[in-house]
Chain A
Amino acid sequence: GNSVTQMEGPVTLSEEAFLTINCTYTATGYPSLFWYVQYPGEGLQLLLKATKADDKGSNKGFEATYRKETTSFHLEKGSVQVSDSAVYFCALGSNRDDKIIFGKGTRLHILP
């Protein structure tokens, strides 16, 4: 069945460092891909999405490109801030049903 695998955390970086959080997926058909973010004590917020191959989702300086050939959707940001500290979830939405399948989440700590 469909699944999402993302890198284990926690990831600890200094402010202004470059961030990559790897995400790969297994799916039949042509899924939509998402990154959700969960700030401490809050719910899930949609960070960005891509609905077809080679699409790039972007928001708040974060980017991820839908790579069908490598079945990946890695999250990147050029210069992280302390306020980016959160848990990041890679997720997949099938075009056969409506449920979203989440990865296990990657906790990100940004040090000042």
Chain B
Amino acid sequence: EPEVTQTPSHQVTQMGQEVILRCVPISNHLYFYWYRQILGQKVEFLVSFYNNEISEKSEIFDDQFSVERPDGSNFTLKIRSTKLEDSAMYFCASSGRTSGRAGTQYFGPGTRLTVL
């Protein structure tokens, strides 16, 4: 069964450093997402991406964050200058199209980001 994959599984970085989290969505999906889950809290939407552009973003997704689909298979989340509060589990998700709009979202296993 096709699945979303994410690398690395755990990333440790120093405050102020740039990090890039990588995701390979399910191959025929068209919609891509990032969510995050701070330890012990709920999963929060960050951004959605369709047709090579951001379709929606949350208040969390400020100028320090960016997303990119650099080739036909990868979808990346970049944090330009990490802060302690960026420590969280980051989930990538993808969905296909159902009746003209995005279908069910399937999630990857997550990347645990630890900012020291």
Contacts and interface: CB of A to CB of B under 8 A. Distances in A.
A98 B48 CA distance: 7
Nearest to A103: B42
Given A49-B104, A98-B31, A43 B56 contact: no
A100 interface: yes
Interface residues of B, number: 26
B95 interface: yes
B25 interface: no
Q: Name which of B6, B42, B93, B110 has the most chain A CB atoms within 10 A of its CB.
A: B42
Given A97-B56, A98-B31, A98-B56, A46 B106 contact: yes
A102 B41 CA distance: 10
B91 interface: yes
Interface in A66-112: 89, 91, 93, 95, 97-105
B45 A100 contact: yes
A12 interface: no
B43 A44 contact: yes
Contact of A99 (B6, B33, B91, B110): B33
B33 A98 contact: yes
A45 B42 contact: no
Given A95-B101, A98-B31, A43 B42 contact: no
Interface of B: 6, 31, 33, 35, 41-45, 48, 50, 55-56, 58, 91, 93, 95, 101-102, 104-110
